[in-house]
Amino acid sequence: MNYRESLDYLYEQTPAYQKVGGSAYKPGLDNSLKLDVYFGYPHKKYKTIHVAGTNGKGSVSHTLAAILQQSGYRVGLYTSPHLIDFRERIRVDGKMMPEQYVVDFVAKHRTAFEPVEPSFFELTMEMAFCYFADEKVDVAVIEVGLGGRLDSTNIISPDLSIITNIGLEHTQYLGDTLSKIAFEKAGIIKPKVPVLIGEALVETRPVFEAKAQAENAPIVFAEEVFGELKSQKTADGWLFSTPQYPALKGELGGYAQKKNARTVLSAVDELKKRNYRIPDSAVCAGFTRVTELTGLMGRWQVLQAEKPKIVCDTGHNAHGIRYIAEQLKNEKYDKLHIVFGMVNDKDIRAVLELLPKNALYYFTKASVARALNEKQLATQAQELGLKGNTFESVSEAVGAAKRNADENDFIFIGGSSFVVADALQTVQG
């Protein structure tokens, strides 16, 4: 099989949550542990950092990886989902895993893993761990897929556990309250391994503290460590300031990056305590060049700077959309155009209630089975006063928005990682 055939085989052989949703979700570590035994515990051959949370996992993981790269470490980075190329999930020093590695991995190991019947995530996670071992990385930043306690990635023993924040998402799997979701995320806390909490709420802090105490794990709250972080929005990102970093330029422009920055800086402090060598210059470079160093896409990404300005963002739940809605209020434009689509397992109404009513909407459907029908989305949106038209594909919706927009207008594309993925291929390709 060539690369495309190998990837098709993986999607067909192992159900992928990214494509089909809940039917592919396999809670529990049994399959991961079986695969880990077969592959010889590859994640034990290098240091790891574990990152969980409702939102911000990707930004924090990529920024930390960029900082560690600039500190002279050989760094593996495992994230999900991907936007365009599956290999975005598995990188070493920012470079995607070669296509041939996927081909060889499937050809060599399929007779061993087929009887296990792993999910796509379980198997490709182990592929990442093996690739990092083969590439002799010093450290790998591992992003949790869904939840924490029962997530496949929870077989690792990291140097540091990070939980960015807690919001209501995946309630059918993780629970319908913030404290229940926090309990699942807190499952990544390991005995005597320090845990960093990016944002703690009244409902979630006691959950984290109780789990940390039970595991005898030192717990740190980023809001207490870098409570003095000052931030100023700039034309191309953020300017952060602390006594140690008086002029720290952040490349990522989303409003959520203010809290993500505090989490990353606190993580750097914790890693230094674990004898990681991280100079201030590496921190600055990581913040300033994260997209170049790691390939990060879809975080308030400017696809076109002007005439009209076009921005996309992968925020896809109420917790994340709240930041986007606030940011849209502060953009300057004559008219706002929003290309919007969602998947069918989200709290649709909670998201729609946050969106601006003074915009023209282009309701659409991403090219995945989980995508919510654009007409159903438009019907719910219209009940809340959001007006617009429907389009069967993201490319059609983006095309219509660009035709309708004047030079001083603003086009936002979002609602789902999959809408952004389709848009990136439309606008850039």
With 70 as the cut, is the pLDDT of residue 262 above it?
yes
Average pLDDT, the chain: 93
**Looking at residues 66-75, what average pLDDT do you find?**
98
> What CA–CA distance (Å, rounded) separates 424 from 339?
13
pLDDT tens for 174-183 read 877 999 999 9
Which segments of 175-291 are extended strands (E)? Answer: 195-197, 219-221, 230-234, 237-241, 248-250
> What CA–CA distance (Å, rounded) separates 221 from 194?
11
With 60 as the cut, is the pLDDT of residue 67 above it?
yes
At the fourth CATH level, which superfamily is domain 3-294?
Mur-like, catalytic domain (3.40.1190.10)
Q: How confident is the model at residue 249 (pLDDT cuts 50, 70, 90)?
A: very high
**Looking at residues 205-223, what average pLDDT do you find?**
97
Residues contacting residue 385 through CB under 8 Å, at least 6 positions apart: 357
Q: How confident is the model at residue 16 (pLDDT cuts 50, 70, 90)?
A: low
Reduce the DSSP state of residue 26 to 3 states and report it.
coil
> What CA–CA distance (Å, rounded) separates 107 from 136?
22
> What CA–CA distance (Å, rounded) separates 95 from 88?
8
Closest CA to 289 of 255, 249, 256, 259: 249
- What letters, b where the CB count within 10 A reaches 16 and e where it falls short, cover 385-411? ebebebbebbbbbbbbbbeebeeebbb
Q: How confident is the model at residue 428 (pLDDT cuts 50, 70, 90)?
A: low
At CB < 8 A and 24+ separation, what contacts does 38-44 make?
Answer: 38/109, 38/112, 38/113, 39/109, 39/126, 39/129, 39/130, 42/126, 42/129, 42/130, 42/132, 42/133, 43/129, 43/132, 43/133, 43/140, 43/142, 43/155, 43/156, 44/157
pLDDT for 27 equals 67
Please state which architecture CATH assigns to domain 301-428. Answer: Alpha-Beta Complex (3.90)
Token pair recorded at residue 308: 């009209």
pLDDT for 219 equals 98
* Residue 282: how many other CB atoms lie within 10 Å: 19
pLDDT tens for 180-206 read 999 999 999 999 999 999 999 999 999
pLDDT for 173 equals 65
Q: Which range among 158-172, 311-325, 389-403 shows the weakest confidence by mean pLDDT?
A: 158-172
Q: How confident is the model at residue 12 (pLDDT cuts 50, 70, 90)?
A: confident
The secondary element (H helix, E strand) that includes residue 270 is helix 257-273
End-to-end Cα distance, the chain: 26
pLDDT for 170 equals 62
pLDDT for 382 equals 97
Residues contacting residue 180 through CB under 8 Å, at least 6 positions apart: 174
Which segments of 269-385 are extended strands (E)? Answer: 301-304, 309-313, 336-340, 359-363
With 70 as the cut, is the pLDDT of residue 266 above it?
yes
pLDDT tens for 77-134 read 999 999 999 999 999 999 999 999 999 999 999 999 999 989 899 999 999 999 999 9
pLDDT for 147 equals 87
With 60 as the cut, is the pLDDT of residue 354 above it?
yes
φ, ψ dihedrals at 4, nearest 5°:
-60, -40
With 80 as the cut, is the pLDDT of residue 168 above it?
no
Contact 44, 139 (CB under 8 A): no
What is the domain partition of the chain in residue ranges? 3-294, 301-428
> What CA–CA distance (Å, rounded) separates 400 from 413?
12
With 80 as the cut, is the pLDDT of residue 169 above it?
no
With 60 as the cut, is the pLDDT of residue 351 above it?
yes
> What CA–CA distance (Å, rounded) separates 128 from 166?
26
Which segments of 276-358 are extended strands (E)? Answer: 301-304, 309-313, 336-340
Burial-class residue 321 by CB neighbours within 10 Å (0-12, 13-18, 19+). buried
pTM: 0.94
> What CA–CA distance (Å, rounded) separates 119 from 294?
26
Q: Which range among 97-101, 143-147, 170-174, 312-316 shows the weakest confidence by mean pLDDT?
A: 170-174
